[in-house]
Amino acid sequence: MREAASFLKRKIGKNRPQIAIVLGSSLGPVAEILQDALSIPFAKIPGFPSPTVSGHEGVLMTGKVGHNAVFMVSGRIHSYERGDPAAMRPIIETLALLGVTTLILLNASGSLLPDVGPGRLMLITDHINFAGLNPLVGETGDERFISLTQAYDRSLNDAVRRAAKAEAIELAEGTYVWFLGPSFETPAEIRAVRILGGDAVGMSTVPEVILARRFNLRVVAISVIVNFAAGMKGSSPSHSETLRQSKAVAGDLRRLLTTLLEDRLND
């Protein structure tokens, strides 16, 4: 991915962000918080894959939020799109080569908690890899043996909590469960992962966390709750509902991220 990094260095000049944000489904409006934004389509970046899912634009943006320079990735590549859990590796590895040290991951997910419904934000404090896949399979060298004991950075989690409190946003917290997708889960699968300790379920994020830790990036992740998971009262999982609810909560997420990025996250 050195060719991609060299291309982007020429495009963005000397102002190299140390923070990157990966946007979830239909969360493109969150990018409105960027000042002096520069947008570069994935198609123009050597080696970058193109997303195939509606709600994922396929654009890398740079700009500023407060005093922080930031990359925004509008266009997640899901493992189910190519059958490859390392689908996001070209993007995350390139960001690391560009000097990014902090990765903020956003996603849309289904709640497993009856009291945390659509429209809420959930801080991910741990995960369960129910898909059983790993983006580091096939890699050689000892770098593949990463620890995930503290996959989600504690100090970054605290910064999110402070930002939510400052913005009077009721922030849930919990364990995210990764299913491969693209089909939604069955009620029996949801019952199983609730027994295992899951609090939200989705089709992304976990492989990105593993890749980020492989490249020594600090990680914080936030779920936008877009529905109740299959079999729960009031559940109706669908992609159209995901897109609709993601747009509805984008305002809260913009406020949260704006306040979060006023913090000196890399100090």
- The catalytic residues are 25, 56, 78, 80-81, 108, 203-204, 227, 239
The span from the CA of 207 to the CA of 132, in Å, is: 10
Q: In sequence order, what E strands does the chain have?
A: 19-22, 35-41, 59-65, 68-74, 102-111, 121-129, 171-178, 200-202, 218-228
Question: Chain centroid to CA 159: how far?
Answer: 17
Q: How far is CA 205 from CA 10, 122, 128, 208, in A?
A: 29, 13, 11, 5
Asked whether 21 and 73 are in contact (CB, 8 A), the reply is yes
Buried b (16+ CB within 10 A) or exposed e, 227-236: bbbbebeebe
